Amino acid sequence: MNPLLDIKNLSLDIGGTPILRDISLSVGHGEICGIAGESGSGKSLTALSVMGLLPMGAQRRGVVRLNGNDLFRRSEAEMCQIRGREIGMIFQEPMTALNPLKTIGSQITETLHTHSKISKAEANEIALEKLARVGLGGGRISENTYPHELSGGQRQRVMIAQAIAWQPALLIADEPTTALDVTTQAGILELLRDLVDNEGLSIMLISHDLAVLADMADHVSIMENGAIVEGGATEPLFRGHRHPYTQKLFAAASHIPIQPLAKFREPLLTVENLRISYRKKSTKLFGKATKFEAVSDVSLQILEGESVGLVGESGCGKSTLARAILGLQPIDTGRIELAGATIASVNNPEAEMRKGKAISSPAGLQQIVFQDPYGSFNPRHKVGRLIAEPFHAIPDAPSGKEMVLRIDAALEEVGLSSTDRDKYIHEFSGGQRQRIAIARALVIKPKLILLDEAVSALDVSIRAQILDLLAELRVTHGLSYLFISHDLSVVRAITDRVLVMLNGQILESGKTSEVLSAPHHDYTKQLIAFTPQIPADWISQ
- The greatest distance separating any two alpha carbons of the chain, rounded to the nearest whole angstrom, comes to 74
Asked if 284 and 244 sit in the same domain, the reply is no
The pLDDT confidence band at residue 356, using thresholds 50, 70 and 90, is very low
| Beta carbons of 185 and 193 less than 8 angstroms apart | no
Amino acid at 316: C
Residue 356 DSSP code: T
Asked if 392 and 488 sit in the same domain, the reply is yes
Query: Does 58 fall in a domain?
Result: no
The pLDDT confidence band at residue 269, using thresholds 50, 70 and 90, is very high
Average pLDDT over residues 407-415: 95
Asked if 333 and 441 sit in the same domain, the reply is yes
Asked if 220 and 287 sit in the same domain, the reply is no
Mean of all residue pLDDT scores within the chain: 89
Q: Which of 308, 313, 239 lies closest to 268 in space, CA to CA?
A: 308
Task: Out of 75-79, 182-186, 518-522, pick the least confident.
Answer: 182-186
Write the pLDDT tens digit of every residue in 424-473.
Answer: 999 988 889 999 999 999 999 999 999 998 888 788 888 999 999 999 99
CA distance 469 to 413: 9
Query: Does 505 fall in a domain?
Result: yes
Write the pLDDT tens digit of every residue in 480-526.
Answer: 999 999 889 899 999 999 999 999 999 999 999 999 999 999 999 99
The pLDDT confidence band at residue 241, using thresholds 50, 70 and 90, is very high
User: Given this model, what pLDDT does residue 262 score?
Assistant: 66
Is the pLDDT reported for residue 361 higher than 50? no
Is the pLDDT reported for residue 353 higher than 60? no
CA distance 330 to 347: 10
The pLDDT confidence band at residue 351, using thresholds 50, 70 and 90, is very low
Query: Does 57 fall in a domain?
Result: no
| Beta carbons of 404 and 384 less than 8 angstroms apart | yes
CA distance 51 to 89: 9
CA distance 474 to 175: 31
Q: Which residue, of 217, 249, 281, is where some domain finishes?
A: 249
pTM, two decimal places = 0.86
Asked if 203 and 293 sit in the same domain, the reply is no
| Beta carbons of 238 and 534 less than 8 angstroms apart | yes
- Percent of the chain, pLDDT > 70? 94
Asked if 147 and 292 sit in the same domain, the reply is no
User: Given this model, what pLDDT does residue 359 score?
Assistant: 36
Which residues, including other chains, have CB under 8 Å from residue 469's CB and lie 6 or more apart? 414, 415, 435, 438
Asked if 201 and 336 sit in the same domain, the reply is no
Query: Does 70 fall in a domain?
Result: no
User: Given this model, what pLDDT does residue 360 score?
Assistant: 40
User: Given this model, what pLDDT does residue 174 score?
Assistant: 92
Asked if 353 and 497 sit in the same domain, the reply is yes
Average pLDDT over residues 152-160: 88
User: Given this model, what pLDDT does residue 358 score?
Assistant: 39
CA distance 366 to 481: 10
Q: Which residue, of 221, 249, 277, is where some domain finishes?
A: 249
Average pLDDT over residues 79-101: 89
Asked if 150 and 180 sit in the same domain, the reply is yes
The pLDDT confidence band at residue 281, using thresholds 50, 70 and 90, is low
Query: Does 7 fall in a domain?
Result: no
- How far from the centroid of its chain's Cα atoms is residue 254's Cα? 18
Q: What order do you get walking across the sheet with 290-303 strand by strand? A: 290-303, 267-280, 333-338, 341-344
Query: Does 256 fall in a domain?
Result: no
Asked if 510 and 427 sit in the same domain, the reply is yes
CA distance 237 to 216: 14
CA distance 340 to 356: 15
Is the pLDDT reported for residue 265 higher than 80? no
Is the pLDDT reported for residue 362 higher than 90? no
Amino acid at 346: V
Q: How many domains does the chain have?
A: 2
Query: Does 13 fall in a domain?
Result: no
Element (H, E) at 148: none
Q: Which residue, of 190, 217, 249, is where some domain finishes?
A: 249
CATH of the domain at 443: 3.40.50.300
Domain that holds residue 118: 31-50+77-249
User: Given this model, what pLDDT does residue 313 score?
Assistant: 87
CA distance 501 to 19: 44
Asked if 342 and 232 sit in the same domain, the reply is no
Asked if 235 and 113 sit in the same domain, the reply is yes
Is the pLDDT reported for residue 1 higher than 60? yes
Is the pLDDT reported for residue 286 higher than 80? no
Query: Does 62 fall in a domain?
Result: no
